[in-house]
C-alpha cells in the first residue's frame, strides 16, 4: 500500500505515512480505565505511580512503540469526569519523567480535551494532542495546538449525535473538524483523524466502521485506529472479559491496517507489534525474504 500523504514533521519528529504502521502504546494514569490497566492505585504514593509509568513506557518503546499516549481521565462510557487540577496532578509528573527517560525520538502524546491540561503537558514534554472531542469541547484547545505547532488527533465522538448512516456520519463529522482545525491555524500536515470506535457507536456500527474504514481515506489525512480490548470485541467473541480480548484486538488491528490505518493505539504493544509487522509485510510489502 502506497501513500500520497506528505510526512508530518515538527520539532525533532517525523511521521512518514504509508511506509509502515506506527504503534501507540497506552499509559493510563487513572484508577478507572475500562481496560483494567489504569496505573492509579489507592495504595501507591506519587513516586510509585511515576516509576510504574516509566517502566511501562520503557517496555512499550523496547517492544516497538513509536508513540506513548498518556491520559489522566477515563473516557469509558459513563465515566466520571475529573477536574483539570486532578488530571494535571496525574499526568504532569509522568510526562516530565517520560521526557527525561525515554529516547528523544519517542513521541509523547497527551490524551485530553482540556486546554489547560494540554498546555501544561506540552510544556512538560509532550509533543502531540489526542482529543476525544476533536477540539470542540474546550474553545481554547485549537489555539493551544496551533500555538505550539504540534499534531492533533481529531476523534469522531458520536455521544449525543443524531446518527443516520454511520460511515457518512463519521466522514461528515471529521470533515467539519478538519475545517475547524484549519481555520484555527493548525497545519494540514498536523491533522490526524480517528473514527472513534465505541464513542457513541453501537457494536454493529463499530463493525461497519472497521469494514469500511478505507472510505475515510477520502478525507486525505492519516488514520489512527483504537480498538484495543474494546467492548465490541468481547461481545463478538461471546462475552469475553477485557483480559481475554487479545486475539480479537489482533484481528481488528490487522484488518484495520488492510483498510488503511496508519497508527494503531494499543494496550498490548509486544503482541500487536507482531501483528503490525506481519500485516505490513502483506499489505505494504515491508519485508524482503532472505535469499
Distance CA 267, CA 27 (A): 8
CATH of domain 19-282: 3.20.20.20
Distance CA 69, CA 129 (A): 9
Please tell me which residue, 41 or 284, carries the higher pLDDT value: 284
C-alpha cell at position 289: 525474504
Residue 82 falls in which region: left (phi positive, over 0), alpha (psi -120 to 50) or beta: beta
DSSP per-residue codes, 203-217: HHHHHHHHHTGGGGG
Three-state secondary structure call for residue 198? coil
Confidence of residue 34 (pLDDT cuts 50, 70, 90): very low
Among residues 90, 217, 221, 230, the one annotated as catalytic is 230
Say if residue 87's pLDDT is above 50: yes
Find the angle CA(43)-CA(45)-CA(51) to the nearest 5 degrees.
110
Among residues 221, 265, 270, 274, the one annotated as catalytic is 265
Q: Bridge partners of 225?
A: 264
DSSP per-residue codes, 238-265: TS--GGG-HHHHHHHHHHHHHTT-SEEE
CA distances from 17 to 76, 95, 221, 224, 246 (A): 29, 26, 10, 11, 26
Distance CA 229, CA 244 (A): 8
Please tell me which residue, 273 or 74, carries the higher pLDDT value: 273
pLDDT digits (tens, 9 = 90+) for 127-150: 999 999 999 999 999 999 999 999
CA distances from 202 to 47, 163, 207 (A): 39, 11, 9
What contacts 123, CB < 8 A, 6 or more positions away?
none
Known active-site residue 265: yes
CB-count burial class (<10 Å; 0-12, 13-18, 19+) for 16: middle
Pairing assessment for the beta strands 13-15 and 67-71 based on DSSP bridges: unpaired
Query: Dihedral, CA atoms, 259, 264, 268, 273, nearest 10 degrees?
Result: 70
C-alpha cell at position 212: 469500511
Confidence of residue 46 (pLDDT cuts 50, 70, 90): low
Confidence of residue 48 (pLDDT cuts 50, 70, 90): confident
Confidence of residue 44 (pLDDT cuts 50, 70, 90): very low
Distance CA 54, CA 62 (A): 12
Average pLDDT over residues 47-62: 92
Known active-site residue 230: yes
Query: Dihedral, CA atoms, 41, 109, 18, 157, nearest 10 degrees?
Result: 80
Distance CA 163, CA 52 (A): 41
Distance CA 18, CA 139 (A): 33
Q: How many percent of the chain have pLDDT more than 90?
A: 86
Amino acid at each position: 500500500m502506497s501513500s500520497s500523504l506528505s510526512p508530518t514533521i515538527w520539532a525533532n519528529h517525523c511521521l512518514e505515512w504509508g511506509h509502515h504502521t506506527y504503534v501507540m502504546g497506552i499509559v493510563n494514569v487513572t484508577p478507572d480505565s475500562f481496560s483494567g490497566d489504569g496505573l492509579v492505585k489507592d495504595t501507591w504514593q506519587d513516586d510509585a505511580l511515576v516509576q510504574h509509568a516509566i517502566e511501562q513506557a520503557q517496555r512499550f518503546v523496547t517492544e516497538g512503540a513509536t508513540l506513548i499516549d498518556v491520559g489522566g481521565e477515563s473516557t469509558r462510557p459513563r465515566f466520571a469526569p475529573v477536574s483539570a487540577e486532578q488530571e494535571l496532578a496525574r499526568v504532569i509528573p509522568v510526562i516530565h519523567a517520560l521526557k527525561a527517560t525515554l529516547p528523544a525520538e519517542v513521541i509523547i502524546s497527551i490524551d485530553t480535551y482540556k486546554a489547560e491540561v494540554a498546555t501544561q503537558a506540552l510544556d512538560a514534554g509532550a509533543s502531540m494532542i489526542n482529543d476525544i472531542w476533536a477540539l470542540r469541547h474546550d474553545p481554547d484547545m485549537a489555539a493551544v495546538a496551533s500555538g505550539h505547532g504540534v499534531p492533533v488527533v481529531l476523534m469522531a465522538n458520536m455521544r449525543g449525535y443524531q446518527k443516520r448512516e454511520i460511515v457518512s456520519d463519521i466522514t461528515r463529522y471529521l470533515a467539519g473538524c478538519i475545517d475547524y482545525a484549519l481555520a484555527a491555524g493548525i497545519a494540514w500536515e498536523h491533522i490526524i483523524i480517528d473514527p472513534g470506535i465505541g464513542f457513541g457507536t453501537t457494536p454493529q456500527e463499530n463493525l461497519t466502521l472497521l469494514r469500511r474504514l478505507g472510505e475515510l481515506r477520502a478525507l486525505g489525512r492519516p488514520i489512527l485506529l483504537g480498538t484495543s480490548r474494546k467492548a465490541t470485541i468481547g461481545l463478538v467473541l461471546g462475552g469475553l472479559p477485557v483480559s481475554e480480548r487479545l486475539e480479537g484486538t489482533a484481528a481488528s488491528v490487522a484488518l484495520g491496517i488492510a483498510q488503511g490505518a496508519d497508527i494503531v493505539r494499543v494496550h498490548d504493544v509486544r503482541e500487536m507489534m507482531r501483528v503490525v509487522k506481519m500485516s505490513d509485510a502483506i499489505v505494504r510489502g515491508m519485508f524482503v525474504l532472505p535469499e
